[in-house]
């Protein structure tokens, strides 16, 4: 079974049954029930230079019923598989938080913390090669907002397909991306854009929308809402793969925003099991950059001790291994400053769309 390929209800249920089957087979052989999965530690996560994403290494761990803690994990796994199968059969979905509270009725299988619940859901993704969306599990946070001349078809709760243009059929807040953006839920129909601009902050998203930047520059604008949700990263990858449009990331100039870009382009350690499915290697970091702080004389703040530590860590992060990234990080360390997107307002509300973005885009060959 291939990750990222749309799976039928029957395929997902079969994959879930395989978890119980592994335990059952062990018991038939007179051995303790067990579940095998990759070791989920930083030491077993490697950066695949060929694919340019984080992936799990070859180290495996086996959880069996010889210890109380592991036995409880196996029990919870069986409860979750049954819960997910019931949802699939009944056409329901659940938040991760709801699943945590539902475990109150599982006796010894009850979760102690929300993290235990979330981590086990991720473990099941790994061992079944399914994704959370296949399980009808959704996060608490919502996805991105999109403004621009792109048209989707989304299946509503009645099972009907709705055609939505993300410029003409939405208000100023844009189209809200659902938690499931796979083809059985969301179709990418048509577009009239030259690129996609992913914007970190809500204030800058609203500024670009109010200034009509999406129409003037012929682009779709996506509000990342900080560290982007999985559905946000996935829809950007689909727009890149299916529409062959460049993804440009416009964020604050600080080490944490750099990591937002890295998670979009190369994946994150936490989601190493689905990096190929989420990461858009072709994504480009547009700004704010360290040299922008100097070139545009932007208002800035001093780097904190935490910022400096994060920058130092990024110098050894393979996602920032290019000469350009090292130059930017070294320059930030040298000047000791960071800056927000909205610092461009120093020159007026229209400066970002009249001057800054046209100049940055022209440098990439995207003139308008």
Last residue of a domain, one of 116, 138, 160: 138
pLDDT tens profile 206-252: 999 999 999 999 999 999 998 899 999 999 999 999 999 999 999 99
Q: What domain range is 94 assigned to? A: 9-138
| Residues 290-305, mean pLDDT to the nearest whole number | 96
Is residue 105 in some structural domain?
A: yes
Is residue 2 in some structural domain?
A: no
Percent of the chain with pLDDT over 70: 98
The reply to whether 106 and 227 lie within a common domain is no
pLDDT tens profile 150-180: 999 999 988 899 999 999 999 999 999 998 8
The reply to whether 108 and 197 lie within a common domain is no
**pLDDT score recorded for residue 366:** 86
Distance between CA atoms of residues 315 and 307, nearest Å: 13
**pLDDT score recorded for residue 2:** 53
Is residue 3 in some structural domain?
A: no
pLDDT bucket at 66, cuts 50 / 70 / 90: confident
| Residues 325-334, mean pLDDT to the nearest whole number | 96
Distance between CA atoms of residues 221 and 245, nearest Å: 12
The reply to whether 169 and 98 lie within a common domain is no
Is residue 1 in some structural domain?
A: no
The reply to whether 67 and 188 lie within a common domain is no
The answer to whether the CB of 301 falls within 8 A of the CB of 343 is: no
The reply to whether 239 and 274 lie within a common domain is yes
DSSP 3-state of 105: helix
The reply to whether 250 and 127 lie within a common domain is no
**pLDDT score recorded for residue 3:** 53
The reply to whether 221 and 330 lie within a common domain is yes
The reply to whether 151 and 282 lie within a common domain is yes
Last residue of a domain, one of 120, 138, 156: 138
CATH of the domain at 44: 1.10.10.10
Q: What is the pTM of this model?
A: 0.87
Tally of structural domains, the chain: 2
**pLDDT score recorded for residue 287:** 86
**pLDDT score recorded for residue 99:** 92
The reply to whether 32 and 53 lie within a common domain is yes
**pLDDT score recorded for residue 24:** 87
Is residue 368 in some structural domain?
A: no
Last residue of a domain, one of 138, 172, 200: 138
The reply to whether 157 and 132 lie within a common domain is no
Is residue 69 in some structural domain?
A: yes
Is residue 4 in some structural domain?
A: no
**Peptide bond before residue 123 is cis, with ω within 30 degrees of 0:** no
Q: Cite the DSSP H helix spans in the chain.
A: 9-28, 68-90, 96-102, 114-128, 202-210, 213-216, 230-243, 255-266, 275-278, 290-295, 305-314, 323-335, 351, 357-363
pLDDT tens profile 69-109: 888 888 988 999 999 999 999 989 999 999 999 999 998 88
Residues catalogued as catalytic: 101
pLDDT tens profile 29-61: 888 888 887 777 777 878 887 887 888 888 888
pLDDT at 4 over 80: no
The reply to whether 121 and 160 lie within a common domain is no
Least confident piece of the model among 29-38, 118-127, 287-296, 303-312? 29-38
pLDDT tens profile 100-129: 999 999 988 899 899 888 888 988 888 888
pLDDT tens profile 268-282: 877 888 888 899 999
The reply to whether 189 and 80 lie within a common domain is no
CATH of the domain at 251: 3.40.1360.10
């Amino acid at each position: 079974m291939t990750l990222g390929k749309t799976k039928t209800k029957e395929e997902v249920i079969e994959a879930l049954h395989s978890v119980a089957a592994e335990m059952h087979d062990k018991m038939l052989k007179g051995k303790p029930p067990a579940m095998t999965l990759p070791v989920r530690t930083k030491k077993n996560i490697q950066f695949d230079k060929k694919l340019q994403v984080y992936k799990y290494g070859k180290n495996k761990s086996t959880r069996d019923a010889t210890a109380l803690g592991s036995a409880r994990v196996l029990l919870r796994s069986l409860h979750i598989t049954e819960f997910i199968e019931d949802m699939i059969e009944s056409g329901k979905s659940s938040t991760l938080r709801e699943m945590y509270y539902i475990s109150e009725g599982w006796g010894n299988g009850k979760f102690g913390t929300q993290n235990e619940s979330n981590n086990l859901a991720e473990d099941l993704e790994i061992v079944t090669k399914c994704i959370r969306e296949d399980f009808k599990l959704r996060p608490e946070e919502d996805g991105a907002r999109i403004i621009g001349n792109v048209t989707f078809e989304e299946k509503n709760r009645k099972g009907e397909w709705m055609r939505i243009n993300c410029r003409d059929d939405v208000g100023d807040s844009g189209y809200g991306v659902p938690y499931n953006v796979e083809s059985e839920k969301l179709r990418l129909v048509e577009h009239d854009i030259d690129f996609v601009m992913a914007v970190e902050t809500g204030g800058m998203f609203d500024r670009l929308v109010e200034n009509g930047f999406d129409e003037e520059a012929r682009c779709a604008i996506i509000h990342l809402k900080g560290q982007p949700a999985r559905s946000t990263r996935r829809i950007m990858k689909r727009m890149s793969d299916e529409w062959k449009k460049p993804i440009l990331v416009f964020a604050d100039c600080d080490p944490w925003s750099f990591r937002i870009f890295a998670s979009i382009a190369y994946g994150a350690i936490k989601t190493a099991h689905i990096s190929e499915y989420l990461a858009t290697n072709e994504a480009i970091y547009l700004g704010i950059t360290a040299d922008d702080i100097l070139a545009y004389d932007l208002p800035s703040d001093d780097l904190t001790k935490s910022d400096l530590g994060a920058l130092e860590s990024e110098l050894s992060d393979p996602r920032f291994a290019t000469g350009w990234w090292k130059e930017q990080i070294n320059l930030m360390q040298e000047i000791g400053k960071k800056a927000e997107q909205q610092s461009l307002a120093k020159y007026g509300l229209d400066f970002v769309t009249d001057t800054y973005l046209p100049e940055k885009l022209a440098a990439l060959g995207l003139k308008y």
